[in-house]
Structures are given as structure tokens and as C-alpha cells.
Chain A
Amino acid sequence: MIINKFILVLISLFIQLSISVYSQTDWVRWEKSDPTYQKKDTHLNRDFDLSIQSVSDVIVKPLINAYWFFVSDVDGANCPFHPSCSSFLVQSIKETNPFKGTLMFFDRFTRDTNVFGRLEHYPRYGTNHFYDPISLYTLDKEKIKIIPTNTFINE
């Protein structure tokens, strides 16, 4: 009986301490909130887009969308990275130019083929992807933003 009470007091003290350590909840005033019961879909979905915004889009967009529709969406999620290699190609062409974009794509494909050391090299995205944005490879130093490898990104 005495031991039970003693244990309860210890638990109570531990909780009080952990509450004070975690008081960060109340460092900003908050109001009543009713978060949704619904669960999020963790599967990554394709961003099909046929809008023409530049000259290269006329060729690239139909080709890429056709590839996504007929091939990529049927052979499973094989790219360990986010954005996927084909999306990487589209984004890099959009951001730079077709020639530079193609070079970036070949380099990305090389990194895709190397199956070793990904955990130590790339931050994580979602449940089972690695984050590898084009901004690191445009040769524009201002755009490079280093994210530590043990970070989880959930956009």
C-alpha cells in the first residue's frame, strides 16, 4: 500500500517534470480545434499536366505524359527518389533548358542506379522515398539548400 502510493507519487513527479519540459504547447495562444478524423492517402499521385508554357513543352509534355500513362503508372513505383526520375527530367527542363535538363537527368539516373549509401546521403521523403530536388543540381549556388540526411520531409 505504502509502496503503491510511493510509486504513484514518483509517476506524478515524473509527469509534472515532463509537462514543464513540454510546456512549449502553450508558448503560443491556441483556440478550440477539431482536427479531421479522416486519414491521409500516403500514396504519391502523378501530376499529369498538358499545359504549354514554353517551346520545349510542345514536345516534352505530350511525351512525358504518354510515358507516365502507358508505362510508368503500370510498372509500379520503382524510383526511390522524390521527385521521380521522369518528373525530375520535366522539372529540370522547365527550370533550365532541354540540354542542361537532359544532363541533369543522366546524372540523376546514375545516382538512381547506385543502391548503396542512400540513407547517409539523402533526407527522407514520406514513408519510403528519398528527397532529391532539382534545386541542388542547377549549378546555381544560391538555390542549393542543404537538408540534413536524418530529416523527414512530409510535403
Chain B
Amino acid sequence: MSNKIFFLLVVILFPIYGQQIDIHSPKNIKKFADFLFCDKDYLRAIDEYKKYLQVVEDDTANYKIALGYSLINDQSNALQEFSSINNSSALYEQSRIEVLKSLSLSKSDSAFYLLANNLINSKSQFSNNAQRLLNTSILLNENELPDKNKFLIPFESDDKLLLGNYYDLKINPPYKSETVAGILSAIIPGSGKIYTEDYGDGITAFLLTGLFTYLAYTNFENDHQTRGWIFIALGAGFYTGNVYGSVASAQIFNAKVNFNFENGLKLFLEDKNYFTPAYDFCK
């Protein structure tokens, strides 16, 4: 009797154990896919999850495929995959905020604003995340900003100071005036470039213009007319070139202000992972 029970157990358990040994079984494909995902080998993980989904319905796998595409910066595929997640799924809310991140990265402005407002108004679990991302995007892309205190409400206290500074920079950028730079250099050669913080170039321009003026003067004094005129022409060239260069220098200075502003904000967003919640698949 006990023998019979034993054999029965073996007959039942053997196929189950057999399935565990089959490394191409759906369960093992998923295990391997999870490992690849946590190993940051996202493209391979995506392929494995797709194989798994041919046999099993699992919205966590769907989500991970979409997240994987987003992490390898293939936003169009990420958006497609996120849209396949059912609104009855537990990961639906989370997927919406990830879609918002993808829309921001793929610079689809109108779709981004629409979804952001949707999430904020629907008072979803992640509406504050959406508000933070929306406000930061407005700071990056728009010229009209809301009131500063209202703008800073959704952010954590650590970030309020940083973003407050960026807000002030946006309202009052430390630009240099092109006209002022040009006029300064017209009065004193090189001073326009010193105004635009190109100190070395400003001093060099002053010295070169001065040198050729002096050479022109001494040559005229010593009755070397040809040489005098050559040096006058060169001096005039450096003088007008410097006025031109000072205006260009002001433009470049302002472009650098814009570049540093945008770059700084983009680094901030990357550091915050675009205010998406951290996933715990790999803990």
C-alpha cells in the first residue's frame, strides 16, 4: 500500500519536476527574463518577456517590456507598450506616469501637457509626480511662468531652493547686452570683451589695436608713408573687428547662459528620474 502511494507520488511529481528542468518552459523563461532585466540587459529581457507573453498573460511582463524600452531610450516603442496595459491592472497608474516621462523625453509637447493635466486633475496616486514634472517642463520650455510660490508647492523642501533659483534665473537671466558690448569696444578697444567676461581676448584686442596705432604713428613721423598707411589699415581692421567680435561675444555669452540653464535642469530631471516612482523589481 505504501509502495503504491509512493509510486503514485513519483508519477505525479516527476512531470512537475521535469517542467522545472526544461529551461525553455514559460516559468523559466520568465525567471531568466527577470534576471536579465535586473542585470540591465534590457533588450534581451524584452525579447524573453515577449516569448513569455505568447503563452501567459501577465501585465507585470508587459510593464517591464515597456520600462525596458524606456530605459534604452526607445521612447516610441515604450509608449506603444505602455498603452497596451489595461486600466484594470495594478500597474496602470504607474504606467501613466512612465508614459509622461517618455512623452517628455520624446519632446511630444502637446501630448505631454494633455496627459500631465489629466493626471493632475484625476487626483491619481501619482498626480503630485505629474505636477512636479509639468512644472519643471514649463520652466524648461515655456516663457510664461506661474507665480513662484504656487510653482514651488509640489516639490520637496530640498528641491525648492534649487528650483527657486532656476525660477529666478528664468525670470531674470543674467544676459549681457550686445549693444553695450559694441559701444564699449568702440570707445575703448577690448572693453566690450571685458564686459562679456572674455578678459584675455579684451586685453589682447586693446594691445593689438594700440600696437598698430603706435606703429602707424611712428612710421608717419619718420615719413614712411606706405608703411604708415598699412599699419593704419591693420589697426582699423583690428578695431572694427573687435567691435564686431564684442557683439558676437555677448551673443555667445547669452547662449552659454541658456545652455547652462537647460543643461542644469536636464541633469536635475535625470537625477530625479523624471519624478517617476522607483521600481522594486530587483530588490
Chains A and B touch each other in the complex, with CB atoms below 8 Å apart: yes
Residues in A lying within 8 Å of B, measured CB to CB: 20-21, 23, 26-29, 100, 102-107, 109-111, 113-114, 116-117, 121, 136-137, 139, 141, 144, 146
Question: Which chain B residues in 233-251 approach chain A with CB under 8 Å?
Answer: 237-238, 240-242, 244-245, 247-248, 251
Residues of the B chain whose Cβ atoms lie less than 8 Å from the Cβ of A146: 252, 255-256, 258-259
Dominant secondary structure at the B interface: helix
Dominant secondary structure at the A interface: helix
**Which of B37-45, B75-83, B109-117, B215-223 has 4 or more CB atoms under 8 Å from chain A?**
B37-45
Contact check, B43 vs A26: say whether CB atoms are below 8 A apart: yes
Given A105-B241, A114-B204, A144 and B43 contact (CB-CB distance below 8 Å): no
Shortest Cβ distance from residue A37 to the other chain B in the assembled complex, whole angstroms: 30
30 contacts between A and B (CB under 8 A): A20-B40, A23-B40, A23-B42, A26-B44, A103-B237, A103-B244, A103-B245, A104-B244, A106-B237, A106-B245, A107-B242, A107-B244, A107-B245, A107-B248, A109-B241, A110-B204, A110-B205, A110-B208, A110-B238, A110-B242, A111-B204, A111-B245, A113-B208, A114-B201, A116-B200, A139-B247, A139-B251, A141-B255, A144-B251, A146-B258
Residues in B lying within 8 Å of A, measured CB to CB: 39-44, 72, 198-201, 203-205, 208, 237-238, 240-242, 244-245, 247-248, 251-252, 255-256, 258-259
Shortest Cβ distance from residue B10 to the other chain A in the assembled complex, whole angstroms: 39
Given A102-B237, A106-B237, A113-B204, A23 and B41 contact (CB-CB distance below 8 Å): yes
The docked-state distance in angstroms from the alpha carbon of A40 to that of B167 is 48
Contact check, A103 vs B240: say whether CB atoms are below 8 A apart: yes
The docked-state distance in angstroms from the alpha carbon of A139 to that of B199 is 20
Residues of the B chain whose Cβ atoms lie less than 8 Å from the Cβ of A110: 201, 204-205, 208, 238, 241-242, 245
Given A27-B72, A110-B205, A114-B201, A20 and B242 contact (CB-CB distance below 8 Å): no
Residues of the A chain whose Cβ atoms lie less than 8 Å from the Cβ of B208: 110, 113
The docked-state distance in angstroms from the alpha carbon of A139 to that of B248 is 6
Given A26-B44, A103-B241, A144 and B201 contact (CB-CB distance below 8 Å): no
The docked-state distance in angstroms from the alpha carbon of A40 to that of B21 is 52
Contact check, B242 vs A23: say whether CB atoms are below 8 A apart: no
The docked-state distance in angstroms from the alpha carbon of A146 to that of B252 is 8
Contact check, A144 vs B252: say whether CB atoms are below 8 A apart: yes
Contact check, B248 vs A111: say whether CB atoms are below 8 A apart: no
Residues of the A chain whose Cβ atoms lie less than 8 Å from the Cβ of B40: 20-21, 23
Given A113-B208, A139-B251, A144-B255, A106 and B39 contact (CB-CB distance below 8 Å): no
Residues of the A chain whose Cβ atoms lie less than 8 Å from the Cβ of B72: 27-28
Other than A28-B72, A103-B237, A106-B237, give 20 A-B pairs with Cβ distance below 8 A.
A20-B39, A20-B40, A26-B41, A26-B43, A27-B43, A29-B43, A100-B244, A104-B241, A106-B242, A109-B238, A110-B204, A114-B200, A121-B198, A137-B245, A139-B244, A139-B251, A141-B255, A144-B251, A144-B255, A146-B255
